[in-house]
Structure 1
Amino acid sequence: MTFDQLGLNEPLLQAIADMGFVTPSEIQEKAIPTLLEEDRDMVALAQTGTGKTAAFGFPLLQKIDASSKTTQGLIIAPTRELCLQITNEMKLYAKHVKGLRVVAVYGGANIQEQAREISKGAQIVVATPGRMQDMMRRGMVNITKLSYCVLDEADEMLNMGFYEDITTILADTPEDKLTWLFSATMPREVARIAKEFMVSPLEITVGSKNEGAKNVSHEFYVVHTRDRYQALKRLADANPAIFSVIFCRTKRDTQKVAELLIEDGYNAAALHGDLSQNQRDLVMKSFRGRQIQMLVATDVAARGIDVDDITHVINYQLPDEIETYTHRSGRTGRAGKTGTSMVIVTKSEMRKIKQLEKILGKKFEQKTIPDGKEITQVQLFHLANKINNTEVNHDIDSYLPAIEEVLEDLSKEELIKKVFSVEFTRFFNYYKKAKDLNQNAVAAFKEESGDTTRYFINVGRKDDFDWMKLKDFLKEKTGLGQDGIYRVDCKDSFSFFNTDTEHKEKVIALFEDFSLDGRRVSVEETQGGGGRDRKRGGGDRRRNDRRGGGDRRSSFKGGGDRGRRRNDDDRRGGGDRRRNSDDRSSEGGRRRNDSDRSSYRGSEGGEGRRRSSSEDRKPTRAERGGPRSPRRSSDSTPNSPFSGKRRRRS
């Protein structure tokens, strides 16, 4: 079917041709003829990005009397961004309709100027609920002769707390108006609006109710709570062409994650409610221009974002509501393209994945966090393809003789090795001693179930060990294999490691009378079993920094869970008290949203507790992960191997 078969008039078909539209989407094909032929209320359910604006926009424009300056149509949208987006699209649709004006009404702009624009004659007003209600109270807009009212993204508006605003607006509109409600999902609040303010509405559904976008695949990665940020970085590194929105639950988490990504060399920015409108506009302009590859956003701030070709949506933290996850994942996989929704979860959140699968009717594939070898390989092939696909700029020709002279002694093989060694060395050096985040997650699960034992061993870095060498040494000594030894934590003069509890007697017995280079090596179970790093018995009771004397601050204020087990990376006794740089961010202890209303929510283990006011400060560099690595340059090792230059955050 084509647009000229839907019953649209010539001015609208001409605008459609100008925009290059050829075939209507499913929601447009179902809604447009119905709205043109029948004067009745309608509820249309379709995913974000399926063309809902055109589905109600074209029928509305065709039914409006452009010769009258009376406001006849009102479109209500949840956010300023969506309000402006709808307004711009409606103006494009109406560019061949003589005399028709569309005016946007939203917060953050001069209300008097908006009122003047309406007074000049605006047949269609596109408004956010709060600003529209404000203008109604001040008598700046007259909607007594309204013929059509459109509620776009109704579920989002209600989820944002606009129920009373919407009901107040609808109560002041004529009873004989037609109401068209467009939504991605159908929660109880949307059904309630339909029941109270609509008359026998026709329901059109594209796909299934509350169904996720069809072109989006869903993946989840199980990590230890403190490894959440490291997992995010590895997912970004494993997808060099990533163009993504990363969702956090709070403004503070959003800002902090964005700052860490920027500091680590990623092209990232934050989008949340504490930014001024000018800052938000600059961020979105940079994101649309792909100067920003990773936009870290809250759910409220991200609503209304309509950016093409988003490759990934990353759920840094799962939302409270099922419907919110649907909207998040709907930011990718638009216009027939494929997209990926990634979820970073802890073991305690696994039940939420099961609930999402059941309600959305989608299978979530569990994947492991990529390791350094995988990431290095992906980055090298990405570079090879980038070089192969680069169009030659012949302005370089005049420089080639001098370049060839410098490289004349190199063979083709040597030249390739040198070119790719630049990229290879960055990633190899960064990840060669990086911890196995997947093993950390397994260890955390075993700790929770009591199936693991943690040991103290009196060797460390001063004995020429790092965590990898120590793990290899312990594997060889105990014969437990690659996965038998985990959570190896190497300090200056001592270390810790874990095994399954069933191997405890064997491990203790092996080290009862063992010497290394003439030095007696002892292994003891730590006090508290798998969770705490404190040696049993008398003698050397090394305490971590959170207890005893010395610096009593948390290893990461604002990021850790004060009621959780002490972090194994806290330094004990004397020596270096800095946190390991591999644990840059600990994401436990998030403040729960007060609007918990769903069985999908509930206890999230360490992530559900409220932090004290003393943790509201911004963490110092030392608390985030030790001294800052050198800035990216040709002869320095970056904080992160992510390819691309540092950009100043908008």
Structure 2
Amino acid sequence: MNAFEALGLDIPFINAINDLGFTQPSEVQEKAIPLLLNSSEDLVALAQTGTGKTAAFGFPMLQNIDVNSRTTQGLILSPTRELCLQITNELGLYGKYLKGLNVTAIYGGASITDQASKVKKGAQIIVATPGRMKDMINRKMVDISKIEYAVLDEADEMLNMGFYEDINDILSYTPQDKSTWLFSATMPKEVATIAKKFMYQPNEITVGHKNVGSEQVSHEYYLVGSRDRYLALKRLADANPDIFSVIFCRTKRDTQKIAEKLIEDGYNAGALHGDLSQNQRDMVMKSFRNKQIQMLVATDVAARGIDVDDITHVINYQLPDEIETYTHRSGRTGRAGKTGISMVIITKSEQRKIKAIERIIQKSFTKKRFPDGDEICRVQLMSLANKIHDTEINHDIDNYLNDLNALYEDTSKEELIKKIFSVEFTRFSNYYKNAKDLNNVSSGPESTGNEKSVRFFINVGKKDGYDWMSLKDFLKAILELGKDDVFKVDVKDSFSFFNTDEKFATKVLEFFQDFKYNGRFVNVEISENPESRKKRRKSSRGTKVNPRDRKSNRSKSLSQRPRRSRRR
């Protein structure tokens, strides 16, 4: 008997499993499938990315629905369109022997009318992103009032992305007696809250431990000066010539910038983020799956759709804002029984985050040193030597052997080997001859935490479209400062405050001396301390200001540099 057949799956699904080459169910499949086939109770399943969660809920849903009915019976919500399409494709493979099965994907970035048309033809299962699903419900393009099964896939990620209200609204259109299955890699408080609100006494399945990282993944961190992150990334790539990796950045801007720099420096790299069109994303992912791209630089959101089993490394170019997100990142490697490495590039001020991550994933990090130039030259040389040694001979070259032999007639075997390998060796040798010692962090500009900081006022705020993160990104980009050099960003409606170390104060003030952005002067000043501001306000209490004058002064601020008095 097939191991999957023992779980209670019918013959059409066993045949599909055999076609797919599955031999043994994963732990989450072994625990979830029999339970979901034989019970209408709700379920919370906690399992890491890459453990086969789609099959764990996909097979039971497919076996339980009526394919002869055109009524929508199952709804699966997932955080991104990539994951939405991935689930839809996998359900199609699982149900390939079910005549009349219609699984429809609903996601943003594609024609809403085309998707509505597919649903109207009789979609028994809808796989959707929350935003597009809510839109279609509001337009009365879908009817989920009779569904029997609702799945919240990657629930923690959907909540991290701010979909709580959308999920709440969507589920309000579904029947109360449906079965709800929640699948998540981690169990933060928000996921526990959603389970309590939308589920009734759910069964719980845990593969490994809650929020714990995969046993197949080892974790390393590299300490570096804040301005040396990119050099550190290159060093790690050069030290691993056969790397096939995902590199995580926090913002779309950093993702694109790092990918472009890698490409300029000769690496096979690409970017994956939310500003790409669907066609661009598809092209990038196709190149990555075909290994034409060795280093895929991605944001956390965009990476949710990456379904590649042989990724060797995950590199955290920047740590995520939410510590739990690290579990998702590291889960991109060490899949399908293979081992993987999760690397973290951090500065001194971020070391405490490593301890926090260790507590969550219940795994220890190893602090590693950067290899020096000699080590990298040797690694690259031997990598090339092995590739040449293992290359199959193309006998079409036989026609040119006489010319080649004549050219190298006076060259010894040893000299010929030196010439061949000097092509690559010289490039790395020259680059690393005078390369910076990245292990000597104290010699870099990294803040030790003891320097005095200066607080600045800037006359841009929420009305200009900024929040604290986008303003911080804007400032560090135009000032060419490291991520940790701009901090304590506080954004108000029409102005904001930010801090830098005292050593950058002159640079900041000089840069904004006559700086215009979108035709408007941007004014930056050192913020007064509370006492001097209080004295200044007290001294001006007896002076009344005509409202018209105030209004006139305010309108001038868009065309000329504003004065300090505007902040009273």
TM-score, normalisation: structure 2: 0.80
1:586-625 aligned at under 5 Å gives the runs 587-589=483-485
Residue in structure 2 matched with residue 256 of structure 1 by the alignment: 257
Residue in structure 2 matched with residue 286 of structure 1 by the alignment: 287
For structure 1, which segment, 97-106 or 297-306, has the greater mean C-alpha deviation from structure 2 after superposition?
297-306
Write out per-residue CA displacement over residues 189-237 of structure 1, whole angstroms, 9 at most, x where no aligned residue: 1111110111110000000000112111111000111111101001001
Residue in structure 2 matched with residue 62 of structure 1 by the alignment: 63
Residue in structure 1 matched with residue 405 of structure 2 by the alignment: 404
1:148-187 aligned at under 5 Å gives the runs 148-187=149-188
SS across alignment from 1:321: coil
In structure 2, how many angstroms separate the alpha carbons of the residues matched to 1:594 and 1:19?
53
In structure 1, how many angstroms separate the alpha carbons of the residues matched to 2:446 and 2:139?
62
Residue in structure 2 matched with residue 431 of structure 1 by the alignment: 432
For structure 1, which segment, 221-230 or 394-403, has the greater mean C-alpha deviation from structure 2 after superposition?
394-403
> Residues 406, 36 of structure 1: CA spacing in aligned structure 2 closer, same or farther, 3 A cutoff?
same
Residue in structure 2 matched with residue 487 of structure 1 by the alignment: none
CA-CA distance at 1:308 after TM superposition: 2.2
* C-alpha RMSD of matched pairs (Å): 2.7
CA contact 1:369–1:438 (8 Å) conserved in 2? yes
In structure 1, how many angstroms separate the alpha carbons of the residues matched to 2:516 and 2:279?
29
CA-CA distance at 1:3 after TM superposition: 1.0
The letter of the residue matching 2:112 is I
Aligned sequence identity (%): 67
> Residues 421, 563 of structure 1: CA spacing in aligned structure 2 closer, same or farther, 3 A cutoff?
closer
> Residues 110, 594 of structure 1: CA spacing in aligned structure 2 closer, same or farther, 3 A cutoff?
farther
CA-CA distance at 1:442 after TM superposition: 3.0
Residue in structure 2 matched with residue 347 of structure 1 by the alignment: 348
CA-CA distance at 1:289 after TM superposition: 1.5
In structure 2, how many angstroms separate the alpha carbons of the residues matched to 1:592 and 1:286?
40
CA-CA distance at 1:167 after TM superposition: 0.9
Residue 379 (1) aligns with residue 358 (2):
no
Residue 322 (1) aligns with residue 291 (2):
no
Residue 241 (1) aligns with residue 245 (2):
no
Write out per-residue CA displacement over residues 109-140 of structure 1, whole angstroms, 9 at most, x where no aligned residue: 11111111111111011100011111111111
Residue in structure 2 matched with residue 93 of structure 1 by the alignment: 94
1:445-594 aligned at under 5 Å gives the runs 448=448, 559=476, 587-589=483-485
Structure 1 runs, 4 residues or longer, greater than 2 Å off = 442-450, 556-564, 586-595, 603-606, 611-617
Residue 212 (1) aligns with residue 179 (2):
no
CA-CA distance at 1:443 after TM superposition: 2.9
CA contact 2:348–2:447 (8 Å) conserved in 1? no
In structure 2, how many angstroms separate the alpha carbons of the residues matched to 1:287 and 1:604?
39
CA contact 1:558–1:616 (8 Å) conserved in 2? no
Where in structure 2 are there 5+ consecutive unaligned residues?
A: 453-472, 492-498, 519-568
In structure 1, how many angstroms separate the alpha carbons of the residues matched to 2:23 and 2:204?
26
The letter of the residue matching 2:51 is T
CA-CA distance at 1:593 after TM superposition: 9.8
The letter of the residue matching 1:218 is H
> Residues 447, 280 of structure 1: CA spacing in aligned structure 2 closer, same or farther, 3 A cutoff?
closer
Residue in structure 2 matched with residue 583 of structure 1 by the alignment: none
In structure 1, how many angstroms separate the alpha carbons of the residues matched to 2:26 and 2:119?
32
The letter of the residue matching 2:367 is Q
Residue in structure 2 matched with residue 359 of structure 1 by the alignment: 360
In structure 1, how many angstroms separate the alpha carbons of the residues matched to 2:371 and 2:221?
13
CA contact 1:78–1:304 (8 Å) conserved in 2? no
CA-CA distance at 1:266 after TM superposition: 0.9
Residue 12 (1) aligns with residue 23 (2):
no
In structure 2, how many angstroms separate the alpha carbons of the residues matched to 1:163 and 1:591?
29
In structure 1, how many angstroms separate the alpha carbons of the residues matched to 2:490 and 2:129?
24
Residue in structure 1 matched with residue 442 of structure 2 by the alignment: 442
CA-CA distance at 1:445 after TM superposition: 8.8
SS across alignment from 1:448: coil
SS across alignment from 2:134: helix
Residue in structure 2 matched with residue 21 of structure 1 by the alignment: 22
CA-CA distance at 1:304 after TM superposition: 2.1
> Residues 592, 247 of structure 1: CA spacing in aligned structure 2 closer, same or farther, 3 A cutoff?
farther
In structure 1, how many angstroms separate the alpha carbons of the residues matched to 2:73 and 2:501?
52
Residue in structure 1 matched with residue 535 of structure 2 by the alignment: none
In structure 2, how many angstroms separate the alpha carbons of the residues matched to 1:296 and 1:278?
17
CA-CA distance at 1:282 after TM superposition: 1.6
Residue in structure 2 matched with residue 268 of structure 1 by the alignment: 269
Higher helix share: 2
SS across alignment from 1:303: helix
> Residues 66, 615 of structure 1: CA spacing in aligned structure 2 closer, same or farther, 3 A cutoff?
farther
> Residues 17, 344 of structure 1: CA spacing in aligned structure 2 closer, same or farther, 3 A cutoff?
same
In structure 1, how many angstroms separate the alpha carbons of the residues matched to 2:13 and 2:488?
48
The letter of the residue matching 1:346 is T
The letter of the residue matching 1:289 is N
CA-CA distance at 1:563 after TM superposition: 11
SS across alignment from 1:337: coil
The letter of the residue matching 1:285 is K
SS across alignment from 2:170: helix
CA-CA distance at 1:419 after TM superposition: 1.1
In structure 2, how many angstroms separate the alpha carbons of the residues matched to 1:333 and 1:592?
37
Where in structure 1 are there 5+ consecutive unaligned residues?
A: 451-527, 530-555, 565-585, 596-602, 618-650
In structure 1, how many angstroms separate the alpha carbons of the residues matched to 2:140 and 2:336?
41
In structure 2, how many angstroms separate the alpha carbons of the residues matched to 1:68 and 1:274?
39
In structure 1, how many angstroms separate the alpha carbons of the residues matched to 2:223 and 2:485?
17
CA-CA distance at 1:274 after TM superposition: 1.7
Residue 203 (1) aligns with residue 204 (2):
yes
CA-CA distance at 1:88 after TM superposition: 0.4
The letter of the residue matching 2:377 is T
In structure 2, how many angstroms separate the alpha carbons of the residues matched to 1:616 and 1:296?
29
In structure 1, how many angstroms separate the alpha carbons of the residues matched to 2:408 and 2:245?
39
The letter of the residue matching 1:232 is L
CA-CA distance at 1:277 after TM superposition: 2.0
The letter of the residue matching 1:270 is A
CA-CA distance at 1:444 after TM superposition: 4.6
The letter of the residue matching 2:76 is I
Residue in structure 2 matched with residue 496 of structure 1 by the alignment: none
In structure 1, how many angstroms separate the alpha carbons of the residues matched to 2:174 and 2:7?
29
Residue in structure 2 matched with residue 369 of structure 1 by the alignment: 370
For structure 1, which segment, 22-31 or 247-256, has the greater mean C-alpha deviation from structure 2 after superposition?
247-256
In structure 1, how many angstroms separate the alpha carbons of the residues matched to 2:259 and 2:517?
17
Write out per-residue CA displacement over residues 54-103 of structure 1, whole angstroms, 9 at most, x where no aligned residue: 00000110000111110000111100000000000000111101111111
In structure 2, how many angstroms separate the alpha carbons of the residues matched to 1:615 and 1:376?
46
In structure 2, how many angstroms separate the alpha carbons of the residues matched to 1:310 and 1:604?
38
TM-score, normalisation: structure 1: 0.71
For structure 1, which segment, 49-58 or 395-404, has the greater mean C-alpha deviation from structure 2 after superposition?
395-404
In structure 1, how many angstroms separate the alpha carbons of the residues matched to 2:163 and 2:202?
22
In structure 2, how many angstroms separate the alpha carbons of the residues matched to 1:587 and 1:143?
45
The letter of the residue matching 2:442 is V
In structure 2, how many angstroms separate the alpha carbons of the residues matched to 1:28 and 1:196?
26
CA contact 1:44–1:204 (8 Å) conserved in 2? yes
> Residues 593, 251 of structure 1: CA spacing in aligned structure 2 closer, same or farther, 3 A cutoff?
farther
Write out per-residue CA displacement over residues 29-78 of structure 1, whole angstroms, 9 at most, x where no aligned residue: 11111111111100000000000000000011000011111000011110
SS across alignment from 1:299: coil
Residue in structure 2 matched with residue 116 of structure 1 by the alignment: 117
CA-CA distance at 1:275 after TM superposition: 1.8
SS across alignment from 2:439: helix
CA contact 1:2–1:23 (8 Å) conserved in 2? yes
Residue in structure 1 matched with residue 334 of structure 2 by the alignment: 333
> Residues 259, 166 of structure 1: CA spacing in aligned structure 2 closer, same or farther, 3 A cutoff?
same
